[in-house]
Amino acid sequence: MIPVKNDNLNKTNEIKIAKNDADEDIFSVLMPSLEPFESVYDVGRVLGEGGFGTVYSGVRLRDGLPVAIKHVANAKVKVWRSINNLRVPLEIFLLCKVAHIDGCIRILEFFEKTDSFIIIMERAESCQDLFDYITEKGILEEHLARDFFSQIVKTVIACHQAGVVHRDIKDENIIVNLKSLSLKLIDFGSGAILRETLYTDFDGTRVYAPPELIRCGKYFGEEAAVWSLGILLYDMFLNVNWKECQDLIRKCLKVRPQRRPHLEEILNHPWMSASLDTPQTSTSPSISPSPSRSPSSSASEHPPATNCSTER
């Protein structure tokens, strides 16, 4: 069971999301329910653990709806925001801002406890994360690889348009629906409000971090996202010798962030716009693979020479 106290402060806030960029118009929160969490959901096995909380499988008792249940201790919350005068962890705020995006995991409701928050999210019954999917399947067919990466890039673009930067894009944070092959971006615990100025904090996965953070301690949101997408693309297509795909990876992994493509430019790259019925071949040398699928591969080994300029 989730380690929470049985107290009189249990309350649930079901979220209704409007597609509007203004914060005061995005959130509509229902009156707190008097039902305790334990009478509304049945908690199952652990799905995953991270630096900000533990995620469990669960079922809503009234209708059997499968859900994911994340328990976040207040002590681990670094940034708080306000939703209709209610103080909530930034992760809940970000989930509400992206709830209208098909490619993002959708928040259903949340409970406030005396020492923690419980976040209830959608969960497909037939799904697995992209890391496990690729591990089991091996090399992806080119049309599927392109479709997956296109879905991810479009979702990241939509998040940025909603004012949210994820900051931990990796295959473990992407869920594959095994029936529809649609993807969902999950775990916004390392995310932030998107801004035009530099970030100096980073709570995401270190091997997906951009070189400007490692060397200079600062980075821009979009450029860092493009770097992470380049690492993801390399990791997804290890040992695949597609010339145009390699070109896109190299562009995303430019050491100088100013030389990386914008997110929209990735979608216009020749490999992304090539016919799905025409697999590409290449006589050029492939990108040197690492012995395993770990993202700590050679693609993520940051070169020592990085420009610390703050100009974009």
Q: Any idea which residues carry the catalytic annotation?
A: 168
Residue 184: CA atoms inside 13 Å, Cβ hemisphere, count?
25
Residue list, annotated binding site for ATP: 47-55, 70, 122, 129
Residue list, annotated binding site: 47-55, 70, 122, 129
pLDDT digit string, tens, across residues 205-241 = 999 999 999 999 999 999 999 999 999 999 888 756 6
pLDDT digit string, tens, across residues 109-154 = 999 999 999 999 999 989 999 999 999 998 888 899 999 999 999 9
Domain 11-122 fold is: Phosphorylase Kinase; domain 1 (3.30.200)
- More confident position, 284 or 28: 28
pLDDT higher than 50, residue 291:
no
d(CA 300, CA 295): 7
Which residues are within 8 A (CB) of 213 and not within 5 positions of it... i.e. 6 or more apart?
202, 219, 224
pLDDT higher than 50, residue 295:
no
Domain limits, CATH 1.10.510.10, in the chain: 127-300
Domain limits, CATH 3.30.200.20, in the chain: 11-122
Residue 17: CA atoms inside 13 Å, Cβ hemisphere, count?
18
Report whether 47 contacts 68 (CB < 8 A): yes
Superfamily designation of domain 127-300: Transferase(Phosphotransferase) domain 1 (1.10.510.10)
Question: What is the pTM (predicted TM-score) of this model?
Answer: 0.85
How does strand 54-60 pair with strand 164-165? unpaired
Count CB-CB contacts under 10 A for residue 117: 20
